């Protein structure tokens, strides 16, 4: 049986990669949506806020 904490350890590297390369990832996976985004504006990741609303 997989422990919840073990799954979180596998999740962390992916989150770090997406945060480091967010514009590139958006352009690769969602090119039409990426073209509509003003990348000059700052953005922030809200992963902790999402977790608190789901528990």
Per-residue pLDDT of the chain (55 residues; tens, 9 = 90+): 556 556 556 778 888 898 999 999 999 999 999 999 999 999 888 877 556 556 5
Q: What is the pLDDT at residue 39?
A: 95
Q: What is the pTM of this model?
A: 0.62
Q: What is the pLDDT at residue 27?
A: 97
- Give whole-number Cα distances, 9 to 3, 12, 37, 39, in Å: 10, 5, 31, 30
């Amino acid at each position: 049986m997989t422990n919840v904490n073990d799954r979180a350890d596998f999740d962390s590297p992916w989150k770090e990669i997406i945060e480091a390369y967010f514009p590139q990832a958006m352009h690769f996976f969602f090119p039409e949506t990426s073209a509509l985004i003003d990348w000059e504006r700052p953005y922030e990741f809200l992963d902790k806020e999402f977790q608190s609303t789901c528990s």
